[in-house]
Copies of this chain bind each other. A is one copy, B any other.
Amino acid sequence: MVNGIERPLDLLNSSKGKEVLVQLKGDKQFVGTLIAFDIHPNLVLDNAKEMQDGEIKKNIGLTFLRGDVIVFISPASTALK
């Protein structure tokens, strides 16, 4: 997946429609399908689930996440294997 990543947002672009793991400040994590992003990057996730210690804590469904609270975003295929 590294091929074609010239700028950081290219990774988000190639992750559209796929499951991502999003780490927030203060230890919350979300897993969900990346639907949209912008430069902050604010995200829209579908089928979002709040995770804690690798377990699903809450189903959130469709959600808008503010970029300001994000630490990292990883394709779930590499982060959750």
Contacts and interface: CB of A to CB of B under 8 A. Distances in A.
A12 B61 CA distance: 14
Interface in A63-81: 63-75, 77-79, 81
This protein's copies in its complex: 7
Contacts of A51: none
Contacts of A28: 71
Interface residues of A, number: 47
A67 B26 CA distance: 16
Contacts of A35: 2, 5, 11
A79 B26 CA distance: 21
B61 A79 contact: yes
Given A60-B74, A61-B74, A66-B70, A42 B8 contact: yes
